[in-house]
Structure 1
Amino acid sequence: MHHMDHLAQLSTALNTPELVWEPDGTCMLSLDNNAIQLEKITDTRTLFRGIVGQLPPSTSAELLENILTANLTLQAASGIVFAFEPESRSLILQGELESDPTQLDCITFCEVFIEAIEFNQNVLEKYSDTITDTAIDTITAPQHFLKV
């Protein structure tokens, strides 16, 4: 399966007109009110990116450490990891989809990816004013990412 197949699967599942790659190798989608950017990495690998939210300048070192620690579990469980974009202070989830029959199919991967974004958006929103130990413990929630 190649990139075009990923886009064809998504077009069919979303009941939308055919999705196409932009000249720069990206494709933007809106899934459940979340902007998702797809980017071609190779003929068989596609990178998905979505913004979880913005971290305030006062974000604790403990929360940032916990987010980085979560990457170990998330990467192993689903290939999804947190990233930080410093200019906008955005917490981003990104994951690679490999066209491999032993891996998740495109639709299942998208479902897991969107669930992960929404779950962590809720955590950040709930604790946006005061980052507490509960938020620090909750943001990892690795069991959530194993739902398929």
Structure 2
Amino acid sequence: MDEFARRMVVLACVFFGVLLRSTDCLSCYQCNVYIRGTPWPCDSDKGMRKVDDCHACLKTFTRSYLHNTFHDQILTNYESRVCVKDREYLKEEGCHPREVASGYMKRCFCYDDYCNASGRASVTLAALLGIIVSGIFVRKSIS
């Protein structure tokens, strides 16, 4: 096996190892949800609940119009954070917008510990490693 092929095998093993690790046993924040029938708001004294053993972290943004009287609408914005424990609901990392009844919803999936904490963008370890290794290979191929 030549040097390039060996490097590619090592790169593939590292990449998939990091990718698999990043989707198991995550810790996420959870709030603006009901837990055993009790609301857990993000801005309460309890704060955001920390949950372990997640497969993904999810942050949802919902904007809808409520009709409180005839021809009168109230715009509501709702944001929640959730620990995804069921693999069936996993999606590609990033935000997935969609139209819902009387409004709009955006679900943002991420795969790092506590990545659903704030509105800032996050870069996964797998993406960072891919960028670094790609830069090394491009640099070596140019030389």
Pick the structure with greater CA Rg: 2
Of Structure 1 and Structure 2, the greater strand share is in: 2
Query: TM-score, normalization: structure 1?
Result: 0.28
Would you tell me which structure has more helix in proportion to its own residues? 1
After TM superposition, the score normalised by the length of structure 2 is: 0.29
